Every structure is written in structure tokens, then in C-alpha cells.
Chain A
Amino acid sequence: MSEFKAQLLQYQNFLHQIRDFFYSRGVTEVKTAALLSNPVSDVYIDSICATVNREIGELKSLYLHTSPEIEMKKLLARGSGDIYQICSVYRDNEQGNQNFNEFTMLEYYRLDFDIHKLIDEITELLVKLGWRHNIRRISYNEAFIKYAGIDILQADFDSLKSIAKSHGLSTEFDWIEDLQMLLFIHLIEPQIKNYSACFVYDYPKQQSALAQIDSQVAKRFELYLNGVEIANGYQELQSAKDYRHRFSNELAKRKQLSKSISSIDEQFLLELKEGLPFCSGVAIGIERLFSSIGL
């Protein structure tokens, strides 16, 4: 058998193991639309726009999904129960060794799971897929205290600016969260590289994205394998009001950076009238996971 054919079979087996994992746990595979009427609202993620139906006089712009999150949350609101999806997602303005305009995402949601229960389950998935190394957990603040002596949850914008300055880094940032990320990438990620697998959890509330906030921290986590970000998960916001608030914030930031902006996805908020059930969800980069497991 050729090496190429062996690789194809290895990837097939990898996907089969994932599907088998979810099937045995009663998590339903779903398929949602990839062409959406609204672009993503995240400040630093850009949708790819597709113009369709020009020749039949019905010209309109649609957007390739950057993640199936919104569409899957509609299903959760309709009572789907636990669901997962493996699909291609598309993002504009991406480049580099680990970033592409198209990649494969595993997105899944578990009802009545908090982030730690979800982290437990992802750990079991990693083991099923053949991961044989230690898997650590560290909170965002613990990591900063341990590796940089910084209490990141208490540090204000000015004190982070002076820390960045002392490392010879830029201090030209509009928002504290961007400076937190700069210091995380500069001071913490190179240390996390020493752990083969590491979950980082409880992010500063300014980096909540669509995660619930519990006093100072967002119930959010990321998984790093060999220093590469593999997964991003939340204890999900539940009410339409909270989603409207977060979307507005992101759109305001996009406006401040002169990036393209759109209106809020009212259809989604309408579907969330009764709220989302309590759940946690995660997005996992499949190519990155596959190459890390294969190492």
C-alpha cells in the first residue's frame, strides 16, 4: 500500500473514531447551512462573502460560516439535545503555517455540562484517539502568576502597558484584552509548549467571547497540544439579551477598527426567545488535532 493511501486510511479511521465516540454517548451528528445571511460579529474573525444569483436578477450577498456555532445554537434552542458537527469552515484574512482560509472544525455541545465536565470528556476523546501523554490543566491566572509573576485578573490596562514596555513590546492597543493576549503569546505560550497537552481555563472576563461570566472570570477554556491552540470552549450564554449585548460589543469594536460591519442576526435572537438550555460547547480544529495526535 502506498504511503498516500495509508494516510487517507489513517484520516478516515481518525474521523471514524470521533464519530464512534459521540455515537456511543448519544450525541447526535447534525449538518447545518454553510452559507448564511449574516457575517460573523467577532472583531478579529472575518467572513468570506459570496455574491450569488446575479444572472437571475436576484443579486444578494451571503457569507460562508466561520464556525457552525450560531446555526447549532438554533438547533439547541429548538430542543436538539446533545449535538456535534464536523464541517469545513471558512475565514478571510488568515495566513501562516497554522492558519488557512478553509479548515475543518469539530463543534459540539453538551447539555448540563460545565466547562470542567466538558474538559473531562475531551480528555477521554483524546485518549480514545491515541493520545498517550500527560494532559494538564491550569487556569489563565495561575499560568500568568507561575510564568510571569503577573496577577492578570487584577492588572489594569496601564500596568499591563508598563509590563509590555519592559519587555520591549508594543503598547499601542485599544483594549486591555488585546494586551492580555499579547503577553499570553509572548510570555506564557512558550512555557505551555513544554507540556504536551494543556487545558487553560477561566479566562479574564474581557475575553469572554460568548462564554458565561462568573465574577472575575469567563467560563472559557482552550486546549493546547505541543503549544498549538487546538480547541476553544465555553459554558454558553443562555439568554437572547446576553447575546445581543455581546454581539453589539463586538460590532462596536469592528466599527472602531474600520472593519466591515453588519446588523445583528435578529433571526438568531428570535430563535433564542426561550433561551438556550444550560450547556457547554467547544470548537476543535480537526487538522491541527490530527497532526498533533499523529506525532
Chain B
Amino acid sequence: MAKYNTSQFKNGLKLMLGGKPCSIINNEFVKPGKGQAFNRVKFKDLITGKTLEKTFKSGESLEGADVMELEMQYLYSDGSSWYFMDPSSFDQYELGQAAMGTATNYLVEQDNCIVILWNNNPISVTPPNHVILEVVDTDPGLKGDTAGTGGKPATMNTGVVVQVPLFISIGEKVKVDTRTNEYSGRA
């Protein structure tokens, strides 16, 4: 893989850091009045999703990470693994619980999502920003409450619990923002 030095660092660049594939989320150039130049860089670990900060001497270089983001279709889960298909090649990929992270809360069969491959192995999944889920359990709401003031917990068909307005009832489909786990409207 190619090497990248600090002057080529930019947001989104995928690099190997301590043996792990990471993506740059912020690159700050710092030059003390009397010192050499440094880059203070914030990374996202593409496997764990955690952010970490490193400081480099300007001019240092890191190896690029062989990382690809592909849009795939979620096929099904057997409970321990989740299966995806690249619609352009029909190749199937299997992900375990750890790599799925919170994506299991939002994926419904046939949904498209972004799968990150590192050295052609899937390491994480990002669901679409908004997904449509079905309410399978919630307390009965107040009939007349259409203003949506207040809220109540509702369990979705994926198992995730989302705060919904009082007027939502079992069986309804709702739109959920996967980044915040918030209700964003009736579907």
C-alpha cells in the first residue's frame, strides 16, 4: 500500500495506525512559535468505531489502509452472523455481532447499507441515515393527541426501543434516524 505523509493528510483518508485501519476525521496543523511543525490528527478506528488522537511530526508518513466502502444489500441473519450481498458482483459477505455493532438495531432484510471492507474482509456496517421500522410493542396512546407532545417508548421489529409520540400505536411504520435513534416521522 502507498505511504502518505502528513502534508497529504485529509479528512476521510484511510491509514494504518498501530496495525488497525483508521480514517482521519480531523487534521490540525500545529506549529509552536519556537518549535517544529506537528499535525494533531483525530482518527476513527474503523473496526471499533472509537476515536483516537495522535500527534505527528510534520513530514512523518503512515501506510495507507486497503479499505473500501461498498453499498450492499442486507440479506438475512441466522442469529450469530449477518449476511450481505454486493449487488454488482453478487459476492456475499458474512459479519459477526462485534462488527455489526448497533447496526443490528436498524437493518431490515433487503435494506441497502454501507459495508466497509478491509483487505476484502467486512469490518463494519453503516445503516442508511433513515430507516423504516414497524412498532411491535408500545403502550396505548391518547387518542386525541396529534400534536406529538411528550412521548413513550416503543419496541420496533428489530428489537430497538425508540421514543415515539403518544399517538403512535402497534403495527404502525415509523421513520427512525439511525444516527441519533430518534423518531423522525410516520412512514
Contact = CB atoms under 8 A, between A and B. Distances in A.
B29 A95 contact: yes
B13 interface: no
A181 B53 contact: no
Interface in A206-247: 207, 209, 222, 229, 232
Question: Which 8 A-B residue pairs are closest in the complex by CB-CB distance?
Answer: A96-B29, A186-B55, A181-B35, A232-B33, A44-B36, A209-B34, A185-B55, A185-B38
29 contacts: A43-B36, A44-B34, A44-B36, A44-B37, A45-B34, A94-B31, A95-B29, A96-B28, A96-B29, A96-B30, A97-B29, A98-B29, A98-B30, A99-B31, A168-B18, A169-B54, A170-B56, A172-B60, A178-B57, A181-B35, A181-B38, A182-B38, A182-B57, A186-B40, A186-B54, A186-B55, A189-B40, A229-B32, A232-B34
B17 interface: yes
A26 interface: no
Interface of A: 42-45, 94-99, 167-170, 172-173, 177-178, 181-182, 184-186, 189-190, 207, 209, 222, 229, 232, 283
Q: What band does the interface of chain B fall in when counting residues whose beta carbon is under 8 Å from A?
A: 20 to 34
B44 to A, nearest CB: 15
A201 to B, nearest CB: 14
Interface in B141-182: none
Contacts, number: 66
Among A167, A170, A190, the most chain B Cβ lie within 10 Å of the Cβ of A170
A190 B51 CA distance: 15
Interface in B53-80: 53-57, 60
Contacts of B18: 168
B82 to A, nearest CB: 32
Given A168-B17, A168-B18, A169-B54, A181 B36 contact: yes
B97 to A, nearest CB: 28
Contact of A182 (B28, B29, B34, B55): B55
A208 to B, nearest CB: 9
Contacts of A209: 34
A194 to B, nearest CB: 15
A277 to B, nearest CB: 23
B40 A185 contact: yes
Nearest to B30: A185
Given A44-B37, A189-B30, 13 more contacts: A44-B31, A95-B29, A96-B29, A98-B29, A167-B54, A168-B17, A178-B35, A178-B36, A181-B32, A181-B36, A186-B55, A229-B32, A229-B33
Interface in B24-50: 28-38, 40
A226 to B, nearest CB: 13
B34 A207 contact: yes
A44 B35 contact: yes
B26 to A, nearest CB: 11
Given A44-B37, A168-B17, A170-B60, A186 B53 contact: yes
B87 to A, nearest CB: 38
A98 B40 CA distance: 13
A144 to B, nearest CB: 15
Nearest to B36: A44
